A = this chain, B = another copy of it.
Amino acid sequence: MKEFEVAPKPADPKLTRRLKGTDQDGSAVETAVVVERPLTLFLNGQEIVTLMTIGDYPEYLALGYLINQNMLRADDAVLAVDYDPEIDTVVVRTARATDFETKLKKKTLTSGCAQGTVFGDLMERFDEIALSRDAVLKTSWLYALTRKINTHPSLYLEAGAIHGCVLCEEDRPLIYLEDVGRHNAVDKIAGLMFRHGLKGHDKIMYTTGRLTSEMVIKTVTMGIPILISRSGFTAAGVELARRASLTLIGRAKGKRFIALSGAERIVYDADAREVAAESKRLQRKASLLEDDVA
């Protein structure tokens, strides 16, 4: 798979709208703003949830949401994924009969912008997963990944106010997906991996979002042993990462980063001083939009 095999399409007119406004001097300006649409997800006969999404990959989002909620299993035969853009629905049909009536009644709004429906038996599956012990993360890869991701054209650089998740292998970003919620972005990656039979054991997940319990659960559920973010940690996220022996790296900005779990996978092969000089130049540009991801 080549670098950025799947990547943001900031020029797609369906994903942003140009709006007129006023700047700090009272001058008229025009700016790009991300569009969000509802997407109602059905699994066989049952309505599961309505998600707000930028709408670029409804099929991947639907599959990934179901997988990450443990409603769809890795060995499930998916007979069809039918997306209807007119009524904003997507229907996933499986060979196995499903029934989540009872489950849907017990919901927890999780944190990190407080969202996501996490079901109890997600944790049963979580505890069964053994992440790859052979996986390593060279610091030279980490610096190369953040540089490539932060400079690649994206809705984030175009309009801000959006999260990104990137599935990587060694120093190569492969799949870069964005969405208004970081949960959607990671779910779309899970859906794509399911659809194309990609395995997680030799991959690295990069996210712009905070390292919350939910982000950790999803990464582990996808079998990915390494999770990197330029944002910070929550205590629950760190606790779960340690329980699963996930390598958890946060506050990855410029040369700096902190690992709060699984540091034994890190290979320190880069000279941090060299990175510092380059990242300073890049940060000047990025700081214009940086805070938009919140």
A residues lining the B interface (CB < 8 Å): 16-17, 19-26, 29, 31, 33-36, 38, 49-53, 107-117, 139, 159-163, 179-184, 208-213, 229-236, 238, 250-251, 253, 255-261, 263, 266, 268, 272, 283, 287, 289-294
**Complex partner residue of A212 from B53, B180, B234, B250, CB under 8 angstroms:** B180
Contact assessment for B115 and A255 in the assembled complex, using a CB-CB cutoff below 8 Å: no
**4 nearest CB pairs, A to B:** A113-B113, A115-B115, A114-B181, A161-B232
**Complex partner residue of A233 from B24, B161, B232, B260, CB under 8 angstroms:** B161
Protomer copies: 2
Closest CB of chain B to A193's CB: distance in Å?
20
Complex-state Cα separation, A211 to B51, whole angstroms: 17
Contact assessment for A235 and B36 in the assembled complex, using a CB-CB cutoff below 8 Å: yes
Residues of B with C-beta under 8 A to A182: 113-114, 294
Contact assessment for B230 and A260 in the assembled complex, using a CB-CB cutoff below 8 Å: no
Contact assessment for B38 and A108 in the assembled complex, using a CB-CB cutoff below 8 Å: yes
Closest CB of chain B to A102's CB: distance in Å?
13
Chain B residue at minimum C-beta to C-beta distance from A230 = B291
Closest CB of chain B to A107's CB: distance in Å?
7
Contact assessment for B236 and A36 in the assembled complex, using a CB-CB cutoff below 8 Å: yes
